[in-house]
Chains A and B, each alone.
Chain A
Amino acid sequence: MSELTRKVSVRCEVNGESVTLEAYPMARLLDVLREQLKLTGTKEGCGEGECGACSVEMDGALVNSCLVPLLQVQGVKIRTIEGLASGGGALHAVQEAFLTYGGAQCGICTPGMILAAVNLLVRNPHPDDAQIREGLSGNLCRCTGYMKIFESVVEAVRHSDEADGQSGTGA
């Protein structure tokens, strides 16, 4: 066998907590989150960056964690599905909406889908239908046909607007 590499230590922040991750430099962030930090909410669906089940946020940007080598996570702030609900167990508006409107069926795409939706709403708080479809186009769902996922996002926007006392437009 050709020369082998050693594991590396990478310091970063995951869901608000400073952590040190240790793995081979090109280990997938997906695997390190799941295996070392036991954050199994992020899933592998394809290993090719096509399905989005492994979506996480890196410094606020949505990425496919199956395509991120550990070495590149040095100094980065990462958020996974586990970091979405606020402390004290209150769910994010998008999570609540998925519960109420049936956005999740088998649930395997759901963590990635919810993060993608949350990320979309940060960038565009009042997306129309086409923008929702585009924002979620990197997250594949085989169960729902996306209809109740869109509905959940639309309702999450509506509820947030009501909570903020705004009269939201958009979708």
Chain B
Amino acid sequence: MRAFLPGYHMETPRDLTETLDRMAKEPGVWKPFAGGTDLMVLLEAGKLPHKKFLNIWNLAELRGIQTSADHVTLGALTTYTEVRGHEILAREFPLLCRAAAETGSVATQNRGTLGGNIANASPAADSPPALLVYDAEIEIVSASGVRWIPYQQFHSGYKQMDLQPAELIRRVRVPRNKNAWRQHFRKVGTRRAQAISKVCLAAAARMDPGRIGDVRIVLGSVAPTALRAVRTEEVLRGQRPEPAILRVAQDALAREIAPIDDIRSTLRYRRTVARNLLAEFIESLAG
């Protein structure tokens, strides 16, 4: 435990209003702290540069999963365990549930949150690919107001996001419109549990008999952010899921992603596996 603890401040605001007021009064000085599964690891390594945190773990306004006819809306503090245990999510949003089930372990899932996963913005984060497949929207709040943005527009680069210092992610909303889509998820990690993703594919396709009517192809760990492979999607739209088009799509994908060599894996591996995961998905549509 390498951190100099006396240098780290954490306070518990009474409610969301107080939280946002404090963040507005001193923008960037106080950062929200949810389940701690990312931040505490940095703290222990002596590598957490930020020193002042607001404990938002108990803010009721950030919890809960609401369902309407058209949407499911999840509070930013929804844990992976809560995602896994929600009946409608399990039925209609299996990719998100798979992502949650393959994040860390039971203990991590009890404390890791969607909001934390989004805001930490690791290129290898598990939930963003699924959220992008589902055309998620993010609700961002501050003392001066509320705004919804498509999650697609949230991340702009490595650890760069559309979130001002005084702002907080309050909710994540996904439309209930992909229920009939064929859905596919595969995370290739360093091992079968408690693994950081080396390549992750979250995909879905609406089949108009025999043809790919509409499609979402999203990859994790092959770019500075989770990547929705829009050009690959274009190649596939309207096509039959056959080997010839698969090769074209794979080539498009290889050009769209930007994998790197790092401590866990290599550029070549990530590119090859990304192509192969796409093949797995397209082949599954032919069945």
Contacts and interface: CB of A to CB of B under 8 A. Distances in A.
Contacts of B12: 71, 74
Contacts, number: 101
A155 interface: no
Contacts of B193: 134, 137-138
A64 B106 CA distance: 10
A41 interface: no
B210 to A, nearest CB: 35
Contact of A26 (B3, B45, B57, B105): B3
Interface stretch (B32-40, B123-131, B142-150): B32-40
B9 A69 contact: no
A119 B6 contact: no
B108 A64 contact: yes
Given A26-B10, A67-B111, A72-B57, A47 B44 contact: yes
A119 B106 contact: yes
Contact of A116 (B1, B43, B106): B106
A5 B6 contact: yes
B46 to A, nearest CB: 11
Interface in A90-136: 116, 119-120, 134-135
B37 A49 contact: yes
B107 A52 contact: yes
Contacts of A67: 35-37, 40-41, 111
Nearest to A5: B9
B70 to A, nearest CB: 31
B5 A66 contact: no
Given A67-B41, A71-B12, A50 B7 contact: no
Interface residues of B, number: 35
Interface residues of A, number: 36
A164 B174 CA distance: 44
**Would you call the interface of chain B mostly helix, strand, loop, or mixed?**
mixed
Given A26-B43, A67-B40, A69-B36, A4 B108 contact: no
A61 interface: yes
A135 B193 CA distance: 10
A69 B10 contact: yes
Nearest to B33: A69
A86 interface: no
Interface in B34-61: 35-37, 40-41, 43-45, 51, 53, 55, 57-58
B115 interface: no
Contacts of B44: 28, 47-48, 66
Interface string B55-90: 101100000000000000000000001000000000
Interface string B97-139: 0000000111110110000000000000000000000000000
B8 A5 contact: yes
B162 interface: no
B179 interface: no
Those 9 A-B pairs whose CB atoms lie nearest each other, nearest first: A138-B105, A137-B193, A25-B10, A24-B5, A67-B40, A61-B110, A26-B8, A4-B6, A47-B44
Given A5-B7, A48-B41, 7 more contacts: A49-B41, A49-B107, A63-B107, A64-B111, A67-B35, A67-B37, A69-B55
Interface of A: 1-2, 4-5, 24-28, 31, 47-50, 52, 55, 58, 61-64, 66-69, 71-72, 74, 116, 119-120, 134-135, 137-139
19 contacts: A5-B8, A24-B6, A25-B11, A26-B43, A28-B44, A31-B1, A48-B41, A49-B41, A49-B108, A61-B81, A62-B107, A67-B35, A67-B40, A69-B10, A116-B106, A116-B107, A137-B193, A137-B194, A138-B104
